[in-house]
A and B are shown apart, each in its own frame.
Chain A
Amino acid sequence: MKNIYRPIEATLEGVIVETPTIKTFVLRPKEDFSFRTGQFIELTLPGMGEAPFTPSSDPNIKEKIDVTIMNAGRVTSLLHNSPKNISVGIRGPYGKGYPLDKFAGKDIVIVGGGVGLAPLRSLLFSLFAEIDKYNKIVLRYGARTPNDMVYKDAIPLWANKKKVDLVTTVDVGNPEWKGNVGIVTTIVKDLPVDIKNTVCIVCGPPIMMKFVTLKLLDTGFAPGDIYLSMEKNMSCGLGKCGHCRVGKYYACKDGPVFTYEQLKDIHDIWD
């Protein structure tokens, strides 16, 4: 029988600096590994610790996985200070991911905050790969400052793609910044979509998801059409260790993507 806790080995092939606190790590697994967009992995530094992350790369590319990580805790800080070419461990993929079949034939609103754009980049790649299936993609992204924006080179390329409507904002600008200034909710308005035939996907810090969700509900989107990523401390990823309970669900096996409909009656979901 398979040992469910055994990580597979991967080489840390490259590190891309996105912002002063965020890096994208390029991993090459040494065994077959694939994931669906929105599923997460447990990334391990052998002997040091592991933490859950959602890959940010195109799920159709099997030989490499990108994971975009903010330096925010013990494991992430060790990762940020790791040299290239070391061996790391990967467990997973875990969770259900984004239900792309339910997005077909619809307008898709994607709202990202800060490093929350990471899982959404993987979603964008999946959508771009079969763009004919979807009506349009309305992407709204906010970061704290222009320097805190991830994927700076990719964003203008996405904006020029067909069927894509992209707006960005920053909480605080700088002299070079010519774009919008204001928190992300300020650009979640007058969305060019058919409210009745739209799904909204939100990923970012809990406080940002809370206010974006309230705004979307206010605009008239149905709770079942709003998809949220729940950040919990998934330890095992398999619904066994108990840490990521959200009401009657586990974020690791029933999520990490939930509709607001699933969450709306659960207390303190934004904490």
Chain B
Amino acid sequence: MSKVYYIESSQLNAFFNRVKEGYKVFSPAIKDKNAKEIDYYYRNINSDTSFVYNSYRTVEPLKSFFTSACEKVTDYFSPEKNITEVAGKAIIFGVKSCDIVGHKIQDFVFLEGVEVDSLYAARRENTILISSDFTDFKEVCHCLAWDILPHPTAGFDLNLSPLNEGYLVEAGSRKGEELIGQYKDYFIPAKEVQISARRTKRDNLIDRLKKHLLTQSLVPKDMVQKIVKEGYSFDTWQQFMLTCVECGGCNLICDTCHCFILADKKESHYQNKKIRVWDSCLYANYARVAGGANPLKTRAARLRNRFMKKFDFFVDNLGMPACCGCGRCIEVCPGKIDIREVLKDLAKKSNNQK
């Protein structure tokens, strides 16, 4: 097991405010304390602030720190061939296990394959992820349906678990160990009894989340590819698309959706740049080719494409579905299209066929 430390709340606050000397720090904050269900938003910490522990995931997906909705990726014909932007050093607090698992998809897309996206790689290398356990969940949370636990098991640099008047801090990587080494005065080795208390808290949360999901009878992970394949011709797609307004929100806020379009921007006569803009497969022109042909002409075909990509393509290519159960797409959708319900409808219709 990797190393686990203990840090008192006041000490964590001090650590939190110290690290911004060397890093750009992003951490969750509450916008509206009186909301029925509190939402956490990321903010850039540049003055002394007290640390806010987010009991569940933030509104923004983790991907937004590594690619932007719209950004320059290259100039034209600059004499310098290697124009990788030097990504600044950053620390992101409050990352959750769903974000980390979902981010595997982004890593797979941008770090593997035929070529490495050097800008993404530099940002990934220079960013420290400080995750934390879920201590509560949102109505839309369904990570357990994809066998993702509500606390991270890998892929983090440091992980925080609240315990009594402080936090257990687990180092999950060399970068995490180094950060602790750099600020070693704040951390003391955790005792066995503290680690077992963490286990109890985690198990309790898992039990609560299991109860929450039990009544939903969600489609299990090992069934999902079969269901979307069998459901290719079902009317599920037409039915659920009735309320879609093609805003693309579900794609843009999804931790695993990675589609973008490369576009050109004219700055002046001599300066042009290539920009990368997030794209959505629900947009009418997503798949259109020159001459006007469009393989995803109908709205239903576009919704189906979203599901085939998530639950068929990525299962074939990476061995995992491209959904981490964070429920962001459910919250954001003005048409109230619920990914859980779409899958359940496919499962139901596929059972009825037999």
Residues in A lying within 8 Å of B, measured CB to CB: 1-9, 42, 44-51, 70, 72-73, 75-76, 87, 89, 94, 206, 231-233, 235-236, 238-243, 245, 247-248, 253, 267-268, 271
Contact = CB atoms under 8 A, between A and B. Distances in A.
B264 A242 contact: no
A73 to B, nearest CB: 3
A5 B73 contact: yes
B113 A267 contact: no
Contacts of A42: 262
A75 B261 CA distance: 15
Given A45-B264, A46-B272, A51-B290, A7 B76 contact: yes
Contacts of B288: 233
Interface of B: 73-78, 81-84, 109-110, 113-119, 121-122, 232, 258-267, 272, 274, 276, 279, 281, 286-295, 297, 301, 305, 309, 312-313, 316-317
25 contacts: A1-B122, A3-B82, A3-B119, A4-B115, A4-B117, A5-B74, A5-B276, A6-B75, A8-B77, A9-B77, A44-B264, A47-B264, A48-B266, A51-B290, A73-B291, A87-B77, A233-B289, A239-B114, A240-B260, A243-B261, A243-B286, A245-B305, A247-B313, A268-B301, A271-B295
Contacts of B313: 245, 247-248
Nearest to A269: B295
Contacts of B295: 232, 268, 271
B262 A50 contact: yes
B312 A242 contact: no
Given A241-B279, A242-B281, A235 B77 contact: no
Nearest to A239: B113
Contacts of B305: 245
A9 B114 CA distance: 22
Contact of A1 (B82, B264, B267, B276): B82
Which of B75, B109, B276, B290 has the most chain A CB atoms closer than 10 A to its own CB? B290
B260 A236 contact: yes
Contact of B81 (A2, A50, A248, A253): A2
Given A6-B75, A94-B114, A248-B316, 10 more contacts: A1-B84, A3-B83, A4-B115, A235-B279, A240-B113, A240-B260, A243-B286, A245-B313, A247-B313, A248-B312
A242 B113 contact: no
